[in-house]
Structure 1
């Protein structure tokens, strides 16, 4: 064992890694050059599918099939994975005549997979084969064949599925990308499928979802003293307070930054009314705007807080940068 380890230490691992990557990159490039009308037909078949796109495979091909199914599902094409072995023990019931089945096998001779193809065909589902052997049993039974063949594996023994699985994965990605573009799949559509992801939060979270409301909104009247405004800023913890009229319409804002500037000027703050030191025409945002727009507003205007108003300029909420950070839209 130690002799083997010593031998490994003598190898140039960077050279080995670069060779493996070059083999896999070459396999993908060669596959791209072989693309033909079968790919176009496959893309149209998936695009027009009234049911689901079902990926099926065994072993390493099955793992790749799972990932392709996940990619389809997250980009607007209803899809799921069926294990070929389980298919012959009842999971064929998941497949209908409205579905398109994408079957993966590099050899095209995988017994468990080939064995269920006739039953799938009898159900009326179309079969797209992704295989490295165009004369295989899988290719012969499929309606369409996508050539995923590779000259050799990245494995130095040319045994472990490496370049062949990478090629199949790339072919699946290419098919999914073509279909999502043809569907006009947008960032908003992607967000709906990924509400827990960062893009989903940015595209689905609105100001109304994160703003502080009711008694949590800091606000005072213009006739209130500056001391009262400072207490309101402190109590509500937003670093500012809105100044509103008797109808709760926004007149101005006073921030902790404004207070620091007054102190630096050496002014006597006793007896001052907040109306004398507030900033008029403050920045505000509507509740139906995306929260990420509030982030941009703060960044552009170099502010840390913003008032939320309705179409009548009535104050209905407030938020600061920390609220947006907690909502994970920053």
Structure 2
């Protein structure tokens, strides 16, 4: 196998595990790092097939501890989500194998099929991509799995929020007070829990391989946080990502676009605000961590001060919005 990777090569025990899940006559011919992930090492494996062709698989390995919880739990959830999505209107990788406890691999790992397409983080073309993102999220929330994933977990509390130094303390204190009471009652739905542009793949339409026409979504990846909970959680999370990536106005626009696409949010303005502000308040604890993969993908202007400024502006707009 040729290793085209500036990082450490895939460990022999992991390669042996992968080989056990290949077809007759198949072999691993290349391993490449996939950049942009924030929680795990991602490798694209080129597999030589029996007829002389190639196909690709993706290896996800949790080398270091994560902020999201134990690797075993995350991999069980991702495996369950990929299984639940089989045969639905949501294009997601197909599960090949999973070793959540590293019984066979060097690290807890999951092997899945590779989807075509690429992430798009540029400001250009956002007007076209926004309704595509909204319709995709509506489709995710329409999935009714035979086995529900675990109930969502919100780690941020009113006492853990980190207010940026340049933020308006009055606005942030008011927003923190919004999430002090218990969460509103909700009707549960299947959630991605990290639905945002970095986890959505785009490609040109099949009849336009040059990519000059409008793009289409070719898949949604990173299902390790899949959960059961209110649709507002996914919408608020994506809206906050869009506000940080492209500007506060786009966070508000996505919420509207999701509803225009047929999505349903909490019934009252107060309930919607609870979920809306919870997302940016959670981001305040890890702005630098969120920005890193975007900077590595080319958005070098998204420095920590810029992100904090946009986060403050977005939270301010939410608190002043009629909802």
Structure with larger RCO (C-alpha < 8 A, sep 6+): 2
| Bigger CA radius of gyration | 1
Q: Same fold (TM over 0.5)?
A: no
In the superposition, the TM-score normalised over structure 2's length comes to 0.20
Larger helix proportion, structure 1 or 2?
1
What TM-score do you get using the length of structure 1 for normalisation? 0.20
